[in-house]
């Protein structure tokens, strides 16, 4: 908005667009709660004043009757694709939960469609009541064993980084490539030098961690133990505490967050299925959970907004101060915050858990079809080769699995699934080129009793 007008409104010389009265504002800088009126103009916070001062007039006034007011929540690292829905539907799930900004890594869609997929996410993110920043996916494909539909080079990433919604380089999963000073990996890191570069380094410790951090990688969201997170904190990494559907690290890591260290922690969801999003929630659920675990609510909100804003250099959000975006949430229970009102850029966009209607293009961005699997190539038989076999052992609530062996169940000279022993057959089918290449194996601990999942 016009700077002169914002200054005039902030001084109280002109009426604001909206005045939220009788709020209890979460002050994430002084770390306490202050009773205040908050004036909003042109989508920005113009001013904060004590309620009794009548400092501000406004076109619209909304009395919050003592509700708490916090900055809109920020998810520091998320793959929208894990929600299985497109961006507007994802916004419908998380904006009513108070999330107004996400930092998305579109590497799942990039694995299928490359740059086309990332451009699709950037396009589809427009005109929704959610700020979708993107980190340029650093590892497409994710590893050398993968049959991906596309590859991204440093040149592709350089091109992405020109977009104002692209902040830096997404999780550098190829930590072996970093440590081996692989030319392509280093070229990608150089492309994003001086920008935020996210890490992904499960179990990388000691001198390897030194090398990984020296390469310019600034965060990690793969810590599963307090010891690992503590070491990464010491080496200067921002620790993103992840609570994904299948990888839950919050209860393990929250005890590390103290007033002294809180500035170095950020909340992220990484991968949440629709069921988790709808039943538990999003970053709001992480706030509630961490408060139950004993974290000061003000520190929890720092992790849920301010700290992510600072790490990503988003100076226009993360706190309720003059000049910042009026991305705000109102709620009534400080010990279990559930956003009742969600404002984005000064507009009320969600209320009582529901997204309000908003204007958006009728025609959504479209994508080319990316499935090419000839029916004739489908083949799921595993000839029996003895009484024992390798199985993938699932570890509950974790992203990592364990290699194990088990007795084979044999029928008609084939190793077959045996749901009674929770032993299921798994197939990975190359879908991009129609090559028919298929990997087969067994998984234990999944719990499916009937039918199949594709």
- Report the alpha-carbon distance of residue 265 to residue 237 in Å, rounded: 9
User: Restricting to residues 146-185, which ones interact with a second copy according to CB under 8 A?
Assistant: 178-179, 181
CB 108, CB 146: distance < 8 Å: no
CB 299, CB 262: distance < 8 Å: yes
Helix (H) or strand (E) holding 382: none
Q: Select the span of 5-13, 166-174, 343-351, 356-364 touching a second copy (CB under 8 A).
A: 5-13
Nearer to a second copy, 236 or 447 (CB): 236
Neighbours of 182 (CB within 10 A): 13
204 binds a second copy (CB under 8 A): no
Q: What's the min distance (Å) between Cβ of 246 and a second copy?
A: 29
The pair of structure tokens assigned to 425 is: 């057959």
Cα angle at 94 between 321 and 334, to 5 degrees?
55
- Report the alpha-carbon distance of residue 118 to residue 120 in Å, rounded: 5
Q: What's the min distance (Å) between Cβ of 101 and a second copy?
A: 17
> In this structure, are strands 68-71 and 238-242 parallel, antiparallel, or unpaired?
unpaired
Q: What's the min distance (Å) between Cβ of 80 and a second copy?
A: 27
Q: Which of 59, 176, 315, 354 binds a second copy (CB under 8 A)?
A: 315
281 binds a second copy (CB under 8 A): no
213 binds a second copy (CB under 8 A): yes
Q: Annotate 406-438 with b (16+ C-beta within 10 A) or e (fewer).
A: bebbbeeeebbbbeeebbbbeeebbebeeeeee
CB 79, CB 90: distance < 8 Å: no
Cα angle at 305 between 302 and 310, to 5 degrees?
90
329 binds a second copy (CB under 8 A): no
Nearer to a second copy, 31 or 404 (CB): 31
Number of residues engaging a second copy in binding (CB under 8 A): 59
Q: What's the min distance (Å) between Cβ of 188 and a second copy?
A: 11
Q: What's the min distance (Å) between Cβ of 221 and a second copy?
A: 17
258 binds a second copy (CB under 8 A): yes
404 binds a second copy (CB under 8 A): no
254 binds a second copy (CB under 8 A): no
Contact residues for a second copy (CB under 8 A)? 3-4, 6-8, 10-12, 27, 29-31, 34, 44-49, 53, 55-56, 178-179, 181, 186, 189-190, 194, 206-208, 210-211, 213-216, 218, 230, 233-236, 258-261, 263-264, 298, 310, 313, 315, 319, 321-324
């Amino acid at each position: 908005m016009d700077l002169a007008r914002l200054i005039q409104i902030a001084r109280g010389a002109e009426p604001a667009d909206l005045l939220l009265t009788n709020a209890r504002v979460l002050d994430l800088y002084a770390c306490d709660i202050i009773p205040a009126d908050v004036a909003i103009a042109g989508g920005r916070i113009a001013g904060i004043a004590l309620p009794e001062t009548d400092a501000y007039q406004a076109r619209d006034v909304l009395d919050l009757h003592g509700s708490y007011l916090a900055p809109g929540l920020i998810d520091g690292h998320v793959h929208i694709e894990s929600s299985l829905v497109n961006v507007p539907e994802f916004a419908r799930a998380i904006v009513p939960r108070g999330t107004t900004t996400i930092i998305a890594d579109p590497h799942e869609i990039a694995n299928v469609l490359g740059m086309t997929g990332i451009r699709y996410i950037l396009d589809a993110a427009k005109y929704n009541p959610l700020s979708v920043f993107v980190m340029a996916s650093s590892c497409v494909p994710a590893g050398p064993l993968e049959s991906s539909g596309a590859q991204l080079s440093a040149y592709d990433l350089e091109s992405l980084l020109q977009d104002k919604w692209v902040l830096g380089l997404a999780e550098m999963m190829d930590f072996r490539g970093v440590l081996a000073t692989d030319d392509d990996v280093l070229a990608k890191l150089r492309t994003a030098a001086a920008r935020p570069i996210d890490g992904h380094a499960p179990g990388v410790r000691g001198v390897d961690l030194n090398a990984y951090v020296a390469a310019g990688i600034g965060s990690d969201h793969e810590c599963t133990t307090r010891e690992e997170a503590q070491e990464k904190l010491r080496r200067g990494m921002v620790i993103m505490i992840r609570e994904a559907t299948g990888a839950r690290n919050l209860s393990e890591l929250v005890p590390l967050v103290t007033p002294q260290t809180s500035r170095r922690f950020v909340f992220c969801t990484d991968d949440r299925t629709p069921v988790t999003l709808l039943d538990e929630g999003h970053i709001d659920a992480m706030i509630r959970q961490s408060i139950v675990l004993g974290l000061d609510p003000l520190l929890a909100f720092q992790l849920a907004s301010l700290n992510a804003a600072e790490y990503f250099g988003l100076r226009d959000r993360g706190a309720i101060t003059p000049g910042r975006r009026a991305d705000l949430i109102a709620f009534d229970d400080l010990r279990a915050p559930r956003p009742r009102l969600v404002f984005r850029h000064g507009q009320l966009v969600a209320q009582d858990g529901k997204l309000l209607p908003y204007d958006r293009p009728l025609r959504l961005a479209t994508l080319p079809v990316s499935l090419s699997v000839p029916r004739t190539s489908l083949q799921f038989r595993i000839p029996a080769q003895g009484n024992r076999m390798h199985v993938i052992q699932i570890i509950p609530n974790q992203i990592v699995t364990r290699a194990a062996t088990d007795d084979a169940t044999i029928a008609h000279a084939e190793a077959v699934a045996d749901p009674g022993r929770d032993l299921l057959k798994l197939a990975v089918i190359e879908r991009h080129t129609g090559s028919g290449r298929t990997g087969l194996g067994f998984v234990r601990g999944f719990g499916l009793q009937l039918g199949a999942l594709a």
